[in-house]
Structure 1
Amino acid sequence: MGDFQQYLDAYALFLAGQYQAALDLLDARPIVDALHHARQRAYALHYLGRVEEAYAGIEQAAHIAETERPVQRSAVYIDWAVMLMRDQRFEEGFRLYHQALAHATEPEERATTLYNLGWTYLRRGHLDHALDALHEGYALTRGSRQERLRWRGHLFRCALALHARACGQFDLALGRARQATRLAGNDRAGVYAWNVLAGTLRLTGQTGAAREAQQRALSLAGDGAAHDAEALYLALIDLGGPDAGAARETLRRLAPRTAPYDAWRARLHLAQADLHAGRPDGALQVLRAVTDANEPYVLLDEAPALTDLYACGRTAGLILPAPAARQPAALHVISRGAPGLHLCGRPLPGVRPLSAAVIAYLHHEGAATLDTLAGALLDLPAGDARGPARIRAALNDLHDLIGTDTLTRLGRRTVTLGPDWVITTDLDAPGPDPFTDLYGEWVAQLSR
């Protein structure tokens, strides 16, 4: 094994969720690089529940980075912040994330920091800040030739699905989660994708499909707390089936062994079971503990499944979130001025004018072939093969940008809009000429 190869191998084990194997590998080899050795051991130790040793190790790594390897500070701060957030030390974690972002120079470092920052904003209930960070970070991963940066794009898709779920945009969340399961591999990103899909299906009442998806997440999970967390989520789904009693026992057993974010979900559902069993005092005690633990995303995300418990809590004077109003997947095309799209009411950064024009055409004119779209939107000779290729590329880019491929359907050569989407445009409103960077026949007619 090469001198540095052991750290690359340990990283591969982390991606596969095999934290004990990574720790065993590191402990069996001599220390070749003190910074990487301390950092990777700390990360593995924390996932395995050996928290004090983990913090000692990451502090050692931070000291080495600050005194000898300043270019590595961002990476160490990220790992340290992840540990703090998992232990609900939120203010310290936010401070380290922002320090990491200030020192991040490489795209991978910035994407990693922005993902963790966006996820943490989401967990803290700051949905607007979360979306801004996730969009900025996702933009760094799109089209990258770096494998590790592309891999992080799968994580962003999952987090954006969770954001949509929190906003009541379940169709969008399901589309994003399904795309993530197709694109991610059988590593930690794959576990995440299947977990997000399973959770979204559970919250929309699709129990059978949810269980199938969560079993896939469990089969891909590694060891230690990672495996326990996926087993906990499977038990949450089983609460609605014939094995509810066994599921409750599993939740009681696993909750103390998982991260607080996961454990509080289990305790909330156990509290609702207590309420249904005629033990409201115990249920309220748990509900008060969850609100005191300051986990706003968990409370919001589980609201659709815990209506009875939350009603009891509100009667007792607790302030609890209502489920976000269900919203369809909606896209508004801005054609006048700078072309763009609003996705579910929020600007979608990075949109190509041609992508926006394709959606506007399909909405106003109906289904069309790639050749028809090329003639309508592009100034190319009839039959030029570049036209359909550019339309196809624009649609693929748009699907990747939104995070779901449900927006349009491509038949043998005919493109139609997805039936579940609500599309609007500003073409009926007065204003400047639309799509001024495009010169096809349809665009020219709109400008007359």
Structure 2
Amino acid sequence: MTTLLSRSDLRGGVPAPAELRSMLPRAEMNVDAVVEKVRPIIDDVRDRGVEAVLEYGERFDRVRSESVRVPTAALREALEATDPQVRAALETSIERARTVHADQRRTDTTTQVVPGGTVTERWVPVARVGLYAPGGLAVYPSSVVMNVVPAQAAGVEGLVVCSPPQQEFDGRPHPLILAAAALLGVDEVWAVGGAQAVALLAYGGTDTDGTPLDPVDTVTGPGNVFVTAAKRVLRGRIGIDSEAGTTEIGILADHTADPVHVAADLISQAEHDPSAASVLVTTSPELADAVDAELATQVGTTKHDERIRTALSGPQSGTILVADLDAGIAVVDAYAAEHLEIQTADASAVAARIRNAGAIFVGPHSPVSLGDYCAGSNHVLPTGGCARHSSGLSVQTFLRGIHVVDYSEDALREVADRVVALAEAEDLPAHGQAVAARFGNRREWVK
């Protein structure tokens, strides 16, 4: 039988972390190679604004929109035309996401350091945010939900949803994108995609009818390598959530896992993109063989079988055999998957031992597809091993912690000599003098 997944055998021992990271399957995304391609686009949008954006839409999306901003009436019309079952599904997704993200909102905290001296940490939402919803191989109204809900929960007042114009929809984003925005109460949607969308969000402009398109403070949401490269170039002028790469799933499984489930879940993420990564880590050669057999059967029944075959047979996907669950945990921690399923005996206990993953899906009834839509969790997650140091999109993405320092004269006097001592140790005497000036520039305040 010809298998789609390549196979690596680590039953003889798991290499040291550095070697292990380098040998694991991983999707390649050379953002550096694309950065110089997007710089001229960004500069052009900065200099010519909407006219440049519309020209790039005509060039890349094969349609020239009449304007950037989608009329509010078109959002309502798209919602009214949405299939009732799809609308109900979106409403469920929104409701559950709001339930989860409402509990993430931080509260201000005041700490009394000394009598008369406090430090308060205030959590202040970003004022205006651009939320990107891709529109390439698939349409993602779910990404609108996942971006908008935490921003609203954080208290962001200005929200702009950006999505590429579609030729078949008269230069507007896909109707499901518009419907999701309408359900969420977002009335500002821009028909622009790619690097030009990130540039317009960063610099702002004036629409064809004279309406101002105000710039944003932060841009979030997944996109292709050109969107990611534009985020990298413009980071600093705008905040970004992450440099998102191609989607990936890791599954840690033992002999108790159902190969039908495992194969179906590997396929589900391979469906996104030919570069998507699907990785199985298992203690059971028998399970690996059964999954290979299931893949051979199931892939042929899928709508996007060519795309899935390309993803599963690529170097970014594969099966890794390990001697035991300890070794399996070491491997998946090194891989740091965007989505990690635990399909083992006592899955909850195993999941509790995982350190590195964007999101963890526990047991046979928590597939990644649930998290993509209706678990309540967020599906905008770190890829490419970034889960070792970064988190997925959340309310915190849209909040800034500001320390408010409030000391009385006596509280400052009590610590003044320490401030002066440290200032002089760092050869920054003016720092100490700034304290001394509060006490008439006299030394007697020093205790």
- TM-score for both structures, normalised by structure 2: 0.22
Structure with more relative contact order (C-alpha pairs < 8 Å, separation 6 or more): 2
When Rg is computed on C-alpha atoms for both structures, the one with the higher figure is: 2
- TM-score for both structures, normalised by structure 1: 0.21
Greater fraction of residues in strand: 2
Greater fraction of residues in helix: 1
